Amino acid sequence: MLTRSITLFLLHTILGTTKAAPELIPTPTADETCTLSNNYPTVDETRLPDPWRFADGKVVATTGDFTCRQAEISKILQQYEFGDFPPAPDSVKATWANTTFVTSNTTTSGGTMTVTVEVNNRTNTFSVNVTHPSTRSSSTHGSPAIIAYGGWSIPVPADVGRIIFANDACAAQTGSGSRGNGWFFHLHGRSHSAGSLLAWAWCVGRVIDGLEVLGASTTGINPSRLGVTGCSRNAKGAMVAGAFDKRIILTIPQESGVGGVACWRMYENELRRSRQIEPGRRQRISELASSNTWFSARFNNFTTSIQKMPADHHFLPALVAPRGLFVVENNIDWLAPRSTTGCMKAGRAIYNGLGVKSNMGFALHGGHNHCLFPAESEPALLSFINHFLFGKGAPDDVEVTPVSINTADWMYRWAAAPNLSLSSP
């Protein structure tokens, strides 16, 4: 059947079998036991919390310890900032319709994947367009792909598939009054504690479920070689998705700024030092949290007392590790380049302690518009894509920023890094 609109659809529908979705948050291996609390106490810490020390004071010494510390960090971030991350859905079904996309005199093949998710007898169906790379992989495993929140702002090689994820439909972000709107909340209830960043992470996991259910023989996409990206507010979401769904092999947040890759404590320190808030530019943390739906309402209890939180955003790279993470930032003032630089330097210190420093890159090139990907960062981006999505070469060991910040002042209370040697995905 052939229908014409903006896009030509050549429909060939295939029903995928239902299977249980994988666990999505960091979990210990079968021979390890992690003791996790349902409630972690506040702290009084003006510096960055220690990634190498458990809440009970125990120091990370082994790979198993760090796996459990990741699980603990995940729980802490949920409790204080993001809200509860739901378990996998009860069932996932998917169908596929072969599609030819026609845009600007360019024709590309792909498909429309329709996914039906069931949670507690509530169902939701959504669709995503999957564009095949111009050069299809001959492997039976399919081609790698990158999932973009909302649209594209990074250069994607021709041999990588593209998937656009409509994150706003999952959880709205049109001001504080839109909290509880979207299909995530249809499934879990409008009063669910999750902010939209965490809701999106759960929803993008359902996209991955659909790819796994159908398999590469149907979709042409390898579900074990996926990246995720987004810019600005959507980069905040991409960063959280990479932290909470370990099936994502490469995370590329672009210019996420405050609430993304900037550490709260560092940003608060910046505001205190500047002694002023410029109208229409930098916001106080309380204003940022209350102006939209990105964070759980729980976070409002700590926006004026950040030092009480036993976590900060250098813990997001800690959750992504040892998987690939390439952070792209800008020197625009309201993106808080000092805070993003310092926070991600701390993140790279965590990667270094795990023996995989080059698996995380940070590139801050300024002098360009917001969400315009700088040409200077393209070689490093390509090295990360080649390594993590294709298994070729090594990622560039990149840490580029014009900002000078002494991160030792923020990390001097940390326990000694365990100097582990985690395997690179």
Q: Give the catalytic positions in this structure.
A: 232, 370
Q: Express each pLDDT in 27-39 by its tens digit.
A: 444 335 899 999 9
**Residue 78: inside a domain, yes or no?**
no
Give one word for 190, left, alpha or beta, with left for phi > 0 and alpha for psi -120 to 50: alpha
Q: Is the pLDDT of residue 122 over 80?
A: yes
- For residues 333 and 398, the answer to whether their CB atoms sit within 8 Å is no
Task: Give the CATH number, domain containing residue 310.
Answer: 3.40.50.1820
Q: Would you state the pLDDT for residue 320? A: 99
From 16-20, 51-55, 370-374, the region with the lowest mean pLDDT: 16-20
- Taking the alpha carbons at both ends of the chain, their separation in whole angstroms is 42
What's the average model confidence in pLDDT over 223-227? Answer: 98
Confidence class for position 147, pLDDT limits 50, 70, 90? very high
Average pLDDT along the chain: 91
Total structural domains within the chain: 1
Please write the tens of the pLDDT for every residue from 158-180. 999 999 999 999 999 999 999 99
Residue 272, pLDDT above cutoff 90: no
Domain of residue 100, residue span = 91-412
Confidence of residue 12 (pLDDT cuts 50, 70, 90): very low
- Give, in order, the Cα–Cα distances in Å from 38 to each of 80, 139, 143: 12, 44, 40
Measured CA to CA in angstroms, residue 165 lies from 9, 13, 128, 305, 407 at distances of 19, 21, 6, 34, 35
Give 273's pLDDT tier (boundaries 50, 70, 90).
Answer: confident
- Output the CA torsion 364→230→224→161 (10° steps): -100
What is the DSSP pairing of strand 2-4 with strand 8-10?
Answer: antiparallel
Model pLDDT, residue 106: 75
| 369 occurs within a structural domain | yes
Three-state SS at 151? coil
Residue 396 in this model has a pLDDT that exceeds 60? yes
Of the pLDDT bands very low, low, confident and very high (cuts 50, 70, 90), residue 70 is very high
